[in-house]
């Protein structure tokens, strides 16, 4: 099964990807996570990406393409869920060509639909575990008491001024991909509101209808 999870920053892609990984035994390919790991390890890609991520801009297409295609090849072109890739029309075009060349088309593009006000609330209340990358939300899914407070951090790009820029970048560069995938009969809109379990139930229904 080859899935793509699509949606604005904070829509719940990472949260839902983890649930799908458990349910269908897939590998999550999240370019944001790969980029953050590269930044932490100060690799050449990490050093190049840093200034873009910190401003809430997109990392150049050619850089992210290599990361995504490498990760897909590592999975033998199957049983993966893309989270946060592609984010531009250029990336989407490359991805279609790459998957077609390997006879590995996507089954579905699940588009998480969440109103703007809720996106801003989710991002401002998102916290992450500095070591495991586990995602929390201060109200909906607070970090458990036993986790050391010092390890619970806010992503620097979740600060309000950067969030505003990321949402604008999403509107300008990423949202047009919905039309791209609709034209290819792959787009499956999913209501992303309600509890994470509600959303998971809707997603699995959509997945089962498209595989």
Tell me which residues touch ligand ADP (CB under 6 A): 7, 9-15, 31-32, 35, 52-53, 56-59, 64, 84-87, 91, 122, 125-126, 135-137, 140-141, 157, 166, 195-196, 199
Tell me how far apart the alpha carbons of residues 43 and 41 are, in angstroms, rounded to a whole number: 6
Give the nearer residue to ligand ADP in terms of CB position, either 3 or 10: 10
Placement of tokens 């989710």 in the chain? 122
User: CB-based contacts of 178: which residues, under 8 Å, 6+ apart?
Assistant: 6, 111, 187
Tell me how far apart the alpha carbons of residues 85 and 91 are, in angstroms, rounded to a whole number: 8
- Taking the complex as a whole, the smallest distance from the CB of residue 159 to ligand ADP amounts, in Å, to 12
Whole-angstrom distance between the N-terminal and C-terminal Cα of the chain? 7
Give the nearer residue to ligand ADP in terms of CB position, either 110 or 186: 110
Say which of 155, 159, 178, 182 is annotated catalytic.
Answer: 155
Residue nearest to ligand ADP (CB): 32
| 55 given a catalytic annotation | no
Which DSSP string corresponds to 108-170? EEEEEE--HHHHHHHHHTEEEETTT--EEETTTBPPPTTS-GGGEE--GGGSHHHHHHHHHHI
Placement of tokens 């820029």 in the chain? 165
Give the nearer residue to ligand ADP in terms of CB position, either 31 or 111: 31
- Taking the complex as a whole, the smallest distance from the CB of residue 130 to ligand ADP amounts, in Å, to 15
Task: Bin 135: left if φ > 0, else alpha if -120 < ψ < 50, else beta.
Answer: beta
| 87 given a catalytic annotation | yes
- Taking the complex as a whole, the smallest distance from the CB of residue 8 to ligand ADP amounts, in Å, to 7
Give the nearer residue to ligand ADP in terms of CB position, either 103 or 117: 117
Say which of 2, 18, 87, 202 is annotated catalytic.
Answer: 87
List strands edge to edge, sheet with 108-113: 27-30, 80-83, 2-6, 108-113, 187-191
| 122 given a catalytic annotation | no
- Taking the complex as a whole, the smallest distance from the CB of residue 177 to ligand ADP amounts, in Å, to 10
Say which of 13, 65, 122, 202 is annotated catalytic.
Answer: 13
- Taking the complex as a whole, the smallest distance from the CB of residue 76 to ligand ADP amounts, in Å, to 21
Looking at the annotation, which residues are catalytic? 13, 87, 126, 155, 166
């Amino acid at each position: 099964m080859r899935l793509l999870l699509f949606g604005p920053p904070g829509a719940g892609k990472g949260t839902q990807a983890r649930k799908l990984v458990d349910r269908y035994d897939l590998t999550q390919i999240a370019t944001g996570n790969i980029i953050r790991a590269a930044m932490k390890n100060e690799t050449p890609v990490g050093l190049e990406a840093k200034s873009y991520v910190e401003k809430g801009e997109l990392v150049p297409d050619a850089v992210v393409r290599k990361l995504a295609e490498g990760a897909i090849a590592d999975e033998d072109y199957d049983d993966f869920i893309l989270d946060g890739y592609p984010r531009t029309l250029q990336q989407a075009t490359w991805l279609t060509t790459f998957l077609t060349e390997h006879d590995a088309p996507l089954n579905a593009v699940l588009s998480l639909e969440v109103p703007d006000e809720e996106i801003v609330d989710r991002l401002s209340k998102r916290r992450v575990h500095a070591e495991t990358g586990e995602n929390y939300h201060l109200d909906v899914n607070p970090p458990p008491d036993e986790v050391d407070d010092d390890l619970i951090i806010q992503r620097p790009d979740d600060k309000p001024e950067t969030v505003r820029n990321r949402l604008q970048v999403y509107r300008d560069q990423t949202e047009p991909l919905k039309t791209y995938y609709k034209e290819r009969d792959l787009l499956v809109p999913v209501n992303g509101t309600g509890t994470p379990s509600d959303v998971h139930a809707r997603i699995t229904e959509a997945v089962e209808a498209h595989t």
